[in-house]
């Protein structure tokens, strides 16, 4: 399906030179890991982009067929390693659905806190690295500074910063330590003004807008055809968020929470927020919108964390302990998708009755989001390739699995 | 210097050689010193912008010795020339960049008459020689045998050559006002209080100054115009295959170039060595009083000049760590669609201004408000300004005596 590229500048180049094939990656500063893109270029104009993946393939799915679900949990940390909490959650929920297990209220709210903090952390990396892709170094250091604070919170909760394995099958590994909620509250208070600063140096920065608005325009139909999800889909104006629209087994985790799906529908974004208006040059589905959706979701997630902390503090009882390591799984097959920061993260578990699943499959959001890259990068300039790839917010850990 | 040696009956060839060597050593010290200070400043300023501390260990609390330490580390690195590279050209390229960056310092005056080579076409010399720097980059990018380097080189060629046009147009404006291409004369023309600086000469020069600064940032390949390096797109652009000492040499060219464009901005628009308040003349630190007094006055002037240069560099650093990078087509659009027409319009505006109201806004105002108390300096300037450019020989008797034999030819 041809995409109508809004690229008035790119069209001006009608001088043709020899075609050149260039490898962008797997060692390249802006391919976010070990993605390899083969660019076919005509001068500065890119005529074709072919992604090559597999440099980080670690047989995660196959390993899942040799370990019990709780033993596999640390491997899910390494799928989308920037939001390990959300990966843990997706896997745990899938196995719990197979087991028919319901966690306690307190555990549910604790999981929401962790999942939304994970979302903030992931979006912060996405925003910072996107600035880096566009040549702006400073926001990167700011976002990583605040991500560190989230990682400190994770460390206080479970001892690990990046590969948490905290949310686990049946519950969480341990309850929060005393004083954790006030630390989290302090983080949210400190972080709120930083969002405005990020809007100032990125979202509403004139150069940033010039580099992203109208670049890599993805029509909603194409996004759906390619299976794009998460902020990439919502950036096209499709209000689809599994926290609201997903499997009931997942959405009931968010029962009683007030939140809106961040997507521009009917010409406006849902919240009445004090954030920068959409620039005139931006059109729905471009890189700017994808970035903006993430920035708004950060604020949304902060609000969700606040709600969850109140509910967690009010909930009675204990948090649930994990299931036994080698608990027998019932026969059957379950597929569950959750709303990870980068899109829909799906796990499939099939069991023949033993403690070890007979089949594990993973549907990763970045993989589908990457598949649209070759459509988006047709006829753009070389400098637009990092701008488009960066706006898709890819993590190779979950693409290659 | 040479005259001094001749006066103690040294042979002419020896006198001139020794003088040239000493001047070269001084300039090299300035060029490398400015590079070291700029690198240190860049690291500290960027660190503060990014909520970091920057270097803190090497050389005491403030990391003063970080640039030499960096240099030493890079010197110790393995010397790599890629197999696909064109060896001799690959080796030659950094030195071309560095030599040109260094050569322009010859004509840059640091204070009244403190210049290694006083040329009556100083402005022209600086523009011409600094324009050669692009050859080093193109050569390096071409000779590296890497596609990314080639991209960097091509971008550099397109960008720097284009930006020389508006930059030259901006530089012509002060030349037009003074009627001379001699940088010392342009600097002395702005003597007195800060409103005598060319940037405040009239609205057109004020606008010209900002256009000049834009072009200056672009011509030194600094962010947001650092397309030749563009680390997120082109890995490191023309520097991709360079490492160790050759890479250092490229940087030794980049940072002096920053100081040079800031210094040139200072001489052309910001009064050069004339501070905002004419302390030297208020304190009678002029050679007319005593040669030593004039020397001290010039030393003050040099401090002024360096302060302005460092301020310019700081602004460039600030810009670099704040803005994202422009795209190549946007860079070219900025140059050809905005900078060139604007600079041309400003040049025409200044011509008109000089024709109708010679002497600038403040000279007019001074004359209007208190014609009786116009000081002598202003009067001299008003006499000079409307006149046609005079040959350097005729103006020689207007100039103050050379302050320091070391810095004159």
Q: How far is B379 from B358, CA to CA, in rounded Å? A: 12
> What is the arithmetic mean of pLDDT over A184-206?
89
Residue B148: its pLDDT value, please?
86
A372, A222 contact by CB (below 8 A)? yes
Cβ contact, residue pair B325, A135, below 8 Å:
yes
State the smallest CA–CA distance between residue A143 and chain B in angstroms. 10
- Closest residue in A to B147 (Cα) is A22
Give the model's pLDDT for residue B409. 35
Chain A residue with the nearest C-alpha to that of B146: A22
Residue of A nearest to B321 (CA): A138
Pick from A129, A137, A215 the residue to mutate for testing the B interface (most B CBs within 10 Å): A137
Q: Which residues contact B394 (CB under 8 A, 6 or more apart)?
A: none
pLDDT of residue A184: 92
| Shortest CA gap A133–chain B (Å) | 5
ipTM: 0.79
- Mean pLDDT, all residues of chain A: 86
Contact B326 A210 (CB under 8 A): yes
Helices A105-133 and A138-158: angle between axes, nearest 10 degrees: 160
- pLDDT above 80 (res A226): yes
Angstrom distances, CA of residue A192 to CA of A119, A164, A188, A310, B117: 15, 25, 6, 18, 57
Give the pLDDT band (50/70/90) at residue A113: very high
Instruction: Find chain B residues with C-beta within 8 A of A384's C-beta.
Output: 327
Question: Chain B residue with minimal CA distance to A131?
Answer: B324
What is the per-residue pLDDT for A13?
52
Contacts of B326 in chain A (CB under 8 A): 207, 210-211
Give the gap in angstroms from C-alpha A137 to the nearest C-alpha of chain B: 6
Residue of chain B with shortest Cα separation from A31: B232
pTM: 0.82
* Per-residue pLDDT tens digits for B84-105: 888 888 888 888 888 888 888 8
Average pLDDT, chain B: 80
Domain boundaries, chain B: 38-71, 77-358
| Dihedral angle over CA of B141, B142, B146, B148, nearest 10 | 50
Q: Which of A18, A36, A138 to mutate to test the interface with B (most CBs of B within 10 A)?
A: A138
Hey, CA dihedral for B105, B108, B110, B112, is it positive or negative? Answer: positive
A20 contacts on B by Cβ (under 8 Å): 147
Are A386 and B233 within 8 A, CB to CB? yes
pLDDT at B372: 52
Q: Chains A, B: CB contacts under 8 A, how many? A: 87
What digits encode the pLDDT tens for the residues A33-79?
788 888 888 878 888 888 888 888 888 889 989 999 999 999 999 88
Residues of A in contact with B324 (CB under 8 A): 131, 134-136, 202, 205, 207-208, 211
Which chain B residue has its CA at the smallest distance from A143's CA? B50
Contact B327 A137 (CB under 8 A): no
Cβ contact B235–A28 (<8 Å) = yes
Residue B378: per-residue pLDDT: 52
ω into residue B362 within 30 of 0, thus cis? no
Residue B328: which of A20, A44, A135 has the nearest Cβ?
A44
Q: Is the pLDDT of residue A323 over 80?
A: yes
Are A132 and B49 within 8 A, CB to CB?
A: no
At residue A94 the predicted structure's pLDDT band, cuts being 50, 70 and 90, is very high
In angstroms, the separation between the Cα of residue B405 and the nearest Cα of chain A is 47
Alpha helices in A199-329 (DSSP H): 206-212, 220-225, 231-234, 242-245, 248-251, 287-314
What's the half-sphere exposure (Cβ side, CA atoms, 13 Å) at A61? 16
Chain B residues with CB inside 8 Å of A134's CB? Answer: 232, 324-325
User: From the list B148, B230, B323, which residue is nearest A207 (CB)?
Assistant: B323
Residue B403 — pLDDT band, cuts 50, 70, 90? very low
Residues in B lying within 8 Å of A, measured between beta carbons: 46, 49-52, 147-148, 151, 223-224, 226-227, 230-235, 321-330, 333
- Report chain B residues whose CB lies below 8 A from the CB of A22: 147-148
Chain B residues in contact with A133 by the CB 8 A cut-off are 232
pLDDT tens string A163-186: 888 999 988 988 889 889 999 999
Three-state SS string across chain B, please?
A: CHHHHHHCCCCHHHHHHHHHHHHHHHHHHHHHHHHHHHHHHHHHHHHHHCCCCCCCCCCCCCCCCHHHHHHHHHHCCCCCCCCCCCHHHHHHHHHHHHHHHHHHHHHCCCECCECCCCCCCHHHHHHHHHHCHHHHHHHHHHHCCCHHHHHHHHHHHHHHHHHHHHHHHHHHHHHHHHCCCCHHHHHHCCCCCHHHCHHHCCHHHHHHHHHHHHHHHHHCCCCCCCCCCCHHHHCCHHHCCCCHHHHHHHHHHHHHHHHHHHHHHHHHCCCCCCCCCCHHHHCCCCCCCCHHHHHHHHHHHHHHHHHHHHHHHHHHHHHHCCCCCCCHHHHHHHHHHHHHHHHHHHHHHHHHHHHHCCCHHHHHHHHHHCHHHCCHHHHHHHHHCCCCCCCHHHHHHHCCCCCCHHHCC
Cβ distance of A201 and B322 shorter than 8 Å: yes
Helix (H) or strand (E) holding A38: strand A36-42
């Amino acid at each position: 399906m041809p995409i109508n590229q809004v690229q008035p500048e790119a069209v001006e180049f009608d001088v043709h030179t020899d075609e050149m094939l260039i490898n962008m990656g797997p060692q390249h500063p802006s391919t976010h890991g070990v993605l390899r893109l083969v660019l076919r270029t005509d001068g500065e104009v890119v005529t074709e982009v072919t992604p090559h993946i597999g440099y980080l393939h670690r047989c995660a799915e196959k390993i899942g067929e040799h370990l019990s679900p709780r033993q596999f949990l640390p491997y899910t940390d390494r799928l989308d390693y920037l939001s390990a909490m959300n990966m843990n959650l997706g896997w745990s929920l899938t196995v719990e659905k197979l087991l028919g297990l319901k966690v306690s209220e307190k555990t549910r709210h604790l999981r929401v806190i962790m999942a939304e903090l994970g979302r903030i952390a992931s979006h912060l990396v996405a925003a910072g690295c996107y600035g880096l892709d566009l040549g702006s170094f400073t926001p990167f250091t700011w976002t990583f500074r605040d991500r560190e604070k989230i990682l400190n919170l994770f460390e206080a909760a479970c001892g690990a910063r990046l590969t948490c394995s905290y949310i686990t099958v049946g519950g969480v590994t341990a309850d929060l330590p005393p004083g954790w909620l006030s630390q989290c509250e302090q983080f949210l208070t400190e972080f709120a003004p930083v969002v405005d600063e990020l809007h100032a140096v990125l979202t509403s920065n004139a150069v940033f807008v010039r580099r992203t608005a109208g670049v890599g325009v993805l029509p909603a139909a194409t996004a759906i055809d390619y299976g794009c999800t998460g902020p990439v889909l919502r950036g096209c104006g499709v209000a689809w968020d599994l926290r609201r629209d997903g499997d009931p087994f997942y959405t009931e985790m968010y029962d009683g929470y007030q939140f809106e799906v961040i997507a521009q529908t009917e010409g406006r974004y849902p919240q009445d927020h004090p954030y920068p208006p959409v620039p005139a040059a931006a059109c729905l589905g471009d890189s700017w919108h994808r970035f903006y959706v993430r920035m708004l979701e950060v604020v949304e997630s902060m609000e969700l964390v606040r709600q969850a902390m109140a509910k967690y503090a009010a909930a009675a009882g204990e948090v649930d302990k994990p299931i036994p390591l080698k608990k027998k799984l019932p026969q059957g097959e379950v597929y569950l998708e959750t709303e990870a920061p980068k899109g829909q993260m799906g796990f499939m578990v099939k069991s023949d009755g033993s403690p070890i699943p007979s089949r594990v499959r993973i549907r990763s959001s970045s993989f589908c989001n990457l598949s649209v890259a070759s459509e988006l990068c047709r006829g753009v300039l070389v400098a637009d390739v990092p701008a488009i790839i960066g706006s898709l917010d890819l993590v190779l850990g979950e693409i290659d699995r | 210097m040479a005259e001094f040696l001749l006066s103690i009956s040294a042979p002419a060839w020896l006198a001139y050689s020794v003088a040239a060597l000493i001047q070269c050593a001084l300039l090299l010290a300035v060029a490398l010193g400015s590079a070291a200070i700029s690198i240190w400043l860049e690291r500290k300023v960027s660190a503060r912008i990014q909520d970091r501390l920057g270097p803190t260990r090497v050389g005491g609390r403030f990391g003063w010795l970080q640039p030499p330490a960096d240099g030493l580390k890079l010197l110790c690195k393995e010397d790599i020339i890629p197999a696909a590279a064109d060896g001799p050209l690959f080796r030659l390229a950094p030195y071309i960049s560095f030599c040109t960056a260094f050569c322009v310092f010859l004509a840059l005056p640091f204070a009244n008459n403190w210049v290694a080579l006083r040329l009556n076409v100083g402005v022209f010399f600086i523009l011409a020689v600094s324009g050669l720097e692009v050859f080093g980059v193109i050569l390096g990018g071409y000779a590296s045998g890497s596609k990314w380097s080639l991209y960097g080189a091509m971008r550099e060629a397109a960008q720097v050559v284009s930006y020389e046009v508006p930059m030259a147009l901006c530089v012509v404006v002060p030349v037009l006002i003074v009627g001379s291409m001699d940088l010392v004369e342009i600097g002395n023309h702005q003597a007195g209080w800060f409103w005598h600086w060319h940037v405040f000469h009239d609205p057109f020069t004020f606008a010209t100054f900002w256009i000049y600064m834009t072009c200056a940032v672009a011509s030194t390949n600094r962010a947001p115009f650092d397309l030749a390096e563009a680390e997120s797109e082109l890995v490191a652009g023309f520097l991709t295959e360079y490492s160790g000492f050759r890479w250092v040499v490229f940087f030794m060219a980049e940072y002096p170039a920053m100081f040079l464009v800031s210094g040139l901005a200072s001489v052309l628009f910001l009064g050069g060595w004339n501070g905002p308040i004419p302390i030297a003349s208020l304190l009678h630190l002029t050679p007319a009083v005593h040669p030593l007094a004039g020397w001290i006055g010039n030393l003050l002037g040099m401090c002024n000049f360096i302060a302005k240069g460092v301020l310019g560099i700081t602004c460039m650093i600030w810009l670099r760590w704040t803005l994202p990078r422009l795209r190549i087509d946007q860079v070219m659009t900025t140059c050809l669609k905005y900078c060139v027409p604007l600079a041309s319009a400003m040049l025409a505006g200044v011509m008109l201004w000089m024709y109708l109201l010679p002497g600038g806004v403040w000279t007019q105002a001074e004359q209007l408000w208190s014609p009786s108390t116009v000081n002598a300096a202003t009067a001299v300037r008003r006499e000079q300004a409307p006149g046609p450019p005079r040959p350097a020989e005729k103006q020689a008797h207007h100039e103050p005596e050379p302050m320091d034999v070391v810095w004159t030819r």
